[in-house]
Structure 1
Amino acid sequence: MLQAFALVLQKKPARRLACAVVAAAALAGCASAPEAPSATGKPAAAAAAKPHWQRVHLGAGGGYDFPVYASHRLDGDLSRIREVVFMQHGLQRNGDDYYAAGAALLKASGRNPDEVLLIAPNFPGTPDQGKGFDGMPHWSVQGWMSGENAVNAPFPVSSLQVLDDLVALVTDKSRLPQVAKVTVAGHSGGAQIVHRYAVLNNVDERIRARGIDLRYVVANPSSYLYFTPVRPAGPDGKSFAPYDKAVCPDYDKYRYGMQDIVPYARGADGLSLYKRYAGRQVTYLAGTEDNDPNHRVLDKACGAEAEGPTRLQRARGYLRYERYLASPGLVIRHQAYEVVGVGHDLAHMFGSQCGAKAVFGLPESANQDGAACQAPQL
């Protein structure tokens, strides 16, 4: 894989990202376990082709430790960092693969690696015992995606609070004085938590008021968080009505709706959340070929099915829903693109013309070989 990536760097600039997508796709397809660290938090054994996770201490009071993959030592000198990109893993909790894919795409984009900090958080799940994540919070297999609290004492921390704490870490001007932009990006299961974080967090406006550009990229999630009990209705999905409770009695429960919301957001009001969320900087990406109603990792719970039969249709339905809810004069600061000819594929989504621009700030003119993007077909 290192040989393949060396070839990428010899290509003409306009072709670097397209070639890196091939390498990144192979990296993201791996499902290897993270390497256990020593007591100092450093990897116990080095493997040249594998990234190594770092143990960072987060939170107030006693806090907690958490594993991340990162392009710089987080306990080192970060004074030159100008931009931070979070790359959130999906259902397999394989932060190493997502970090490797993001690093390949970032390097091919030509950005200065000394000024960009790439971080791939890795939420330990209950099946991950024995992988070195001792003394850290662990979540249920899907609980981390929706913001549930960790299941092991004494760490009752929400996965959304972890993102709060990571964002606080990289926007600490005493350690990263030059940071001006933070992008939180996720694909598939990672996009589910990024979307809910973009809706529910209470830190966004404060961070932007300090002059830091905070953005979210949501690519191909299985479901979205609805603010009211209506869902796409009618033969074309272009109208909205309450879903049939005889078909799905709990369709409006969190993580699909506002009922029984996680403690992190307890007491939140749906419409108030929507109005706040409309002003946040969110980019949606949907692959035009992510249209298989029987995809092996598509959420097929009835609450998800209430949003539509495929990821592509769920994305289009949610974009229509945002417009449906909007009151006159409300400015929605969201962007949305469909990535033409791409399915459920991290590397090709983020390596597309609109994806590389949203995640890495790469102009479309410098990525002519990336997949083309079009306006949502609503």
Structure 2
Amino acid sequence: MLKTFAPVLSAKPAVRLAGATIALAAALTGCAGAPPAPSATSKPVEAAAKAASAGPHWQRLHLGTGAGYDFPVYASHRLDGDLSRIREVVFVQHGLQRNGDDYYAAGAALLKASGRNPDEVLLVAPNFPGTPDHGKGFDGMPQWSVQGWMSGENAVNTPFTVSSLQVLDDLMAYVTDKARLPQVARVTVAGHSGGAQIVHRYAVLNNVDERIRARGIDLRYVVANPSSYLYFTPVRPAGADGRSFAPYDKAVCPNYDKYRYGMQDIVPYAKGANGLSLYQRYAGRQVTYLAGTEDNDPNHRVLDKACGAEAEGPTRLRRARGYLRYERYLASPGLVIRHQAYEVVGVGHDQARMFGSQCGARAVFGMAESANPDGAACRAPQL
């Protein structure tokens, strides 16, 4: 069941991607100040700007079993219409500001630039309503605390108790229903910053991945510049270079291993999960990590500075490198880790330029590097 909303999420006019998605950088990253001037890296999406500026489509989707619940999404097709030609679904997950409209617009520009047939690709931007969003049209829908949705916590408004991770399960069920989308062959779930935090935790904790792939649907996750990662054991990067691992000092942070950083007191969605078993399963899932080489400010305004996050490293770039080393540290002989990782050269905490980079556009939208010569360059992680 689906309804199209008449109102929009905010009073601001439709977003225009002037020059490129870089014009959206301030809104997408939550950073204050004017966006930077367009650069050469923005050119691949320049031609797509006008197509994306028509405004996003806000739809009210009914999800779940039993009575279920309504949930707002932006989508490139009417979800109650004919989806029989859709071959690929791309989710782009907003960050801390819960601005799914901006993320949808940026994704639409990049999708246009990719040259993909829009009739065969469904772009979806879920929008998790937060407790500050009262009066924005979310009546009768679950709402989460400002950061609770990023972790998989349950909705906080009665009568709703649904986890944000369960919402992703329900969205996944919706788009992989062969009765609804008979030709869908690939689903990508991508997030940047706060969105990357929920995408990463979903990639670790969900119980539907293998079942979906067993049905011949290629399921992938893209995790770009999150503030923290979920560790499976009590060790953290240690030493001046972060290349060894040891339990963190509880005198500095007594609860460093509590969820959302570790496995203690995990959310009800994953209750009873075992860390090492989760790691072994996660290693076989198709995950691409992206880290901006300039996302290295330990005082960044929206960097998670809780001691549990600081235990993972001082900056997002250091935390990303530490987590990649940690995955290899945990690996037993013969374990195949099906994860890819890239550093996006010269890019900081900027969703538009991360996903518009050569490796980002390829991971999220299947865009060949030859079609994106001016996207930011990517390199292997400096581990």
Report the TM-score when normalising by structure 1.
0.90
- In the other structure, the counterpart of 1:151 is 156
Q: Which runs of 4+ in 1 moved over 6 A?
A: 1-4
Aligned counterpart in structure 1 of residue 57 of structure 2, from 52, 58, 77:
52
Distance 2:142 2:29 in 1: 26
Contact 1:109 1:362 in 2 (8 A): yes
- 1:282 paired to 2:292: no
Distance 2:91 2:379 in 1: 25
Superposed displacement of residue 30, structure 1: 8.9
The letter for the 2-side match of 1:351 is G
Distance 1:225 1:4 in 2: 35
- In the other structure, the counterpart of 1:294 is 299
Counterpart of 1:241 in 2: which secondary structure? strand
Structure 1, unpaired ranges of 5+: 9-18, 32-47
Evaluate the alpha carbon distance shift between residue 2 and residue 366 of structure 1 in structure 2; reply closer, same or farther with a 3 A threshold. Answer: farther
- In the other structure, the counterpart of 1:114 is 119
- 1:268 paired to 2:273: yes
Distance 2:266 2:118 in 1: 39
Counterpart of 1:69 in 2: which secondary structure? strand
Aligned counterpart in structure 1 of residue 324 of structure 2, from 319, 322, 327:
319
The letter for the 2-side match of 1:183 is T
Shifted more, 291-300 versus 109-118: the winner is 109-118
Contact 2:257 2:308 in 1 (8 A): yes
- In the other structure, the counterpart of 1:138 is 143
- In the other structure, the counterpart of 1:101 is 106
Counterpart of 1:322 in 2: which secondary structure? helix
Structure 2, unpaired ranges of 5+: 1-12, 32-52
- In the other structure, the counterpart of 2:372 is 367
Superposed displacement of residue 164, structure 1: 0.2
Contact 2:30 2:96 in 1 (8 A): no
Superposed CA offset, 1:76-134 (max 9, x none): 11000000000000000000011011111111111111000000000000000000001
- 1:177 paired to 2:179: no
The letter for the 1-side match of 2:21 is V
Report the TM-score when normalising by structure 2.
0.89
1:216-255 matches, cutoff 5 A: 216-255=221-260
Counterpart of 1:112 in 2: which secondary structure? coil
The letter for the 1-side match of 2:92 is M
Superposed displacement of residue 49, structure 1: 4.3
Superposed CA offset, 1:185-235 (max 9, x none): 000000000000000000000000000000000000000000000000011
Distance 1:25 1:319 in 2: 26
Contact 1:25 1:101 in 2 (8 A): no
Distance 2:296 2:25 in 1: 20
Distance 1:302 1:23 in 2: 33
- 1:209 paired to 2:220: no
Contact 1:87 1:119 in 2 (8 A): yes
Distance 1:231 1:104 in 2: 39
- In the other structure, the counterpart of 2:79 is 74
Contact 2:143 2:156 in 1 (8 A): yes
Superposed displacement of residue 350, structure 1: 0.1
Superposed CA offset, 1:309-345 (max 9, x none): 0000000000000000000000000000000000000
The letter for the 1-side match of 2:220 is R
Superposed displacement of residue 28, structure 1: 3.7
Counterpart of 2:129 in 1: which secondary structure? coil
- In the other structure, the counterpart of 1:34 is none
Distance 1:86 1:30 in 2: 20
Counterpart of 1:119 in 2: which secondary structure? strand
- In the other structure, the counterpart of 1:190 is 195
- 1:348 paired to 2:353: yes
- In the other structure, the counterpart of 1:13 is none
Distance 1:246 1:3 in 2: 47
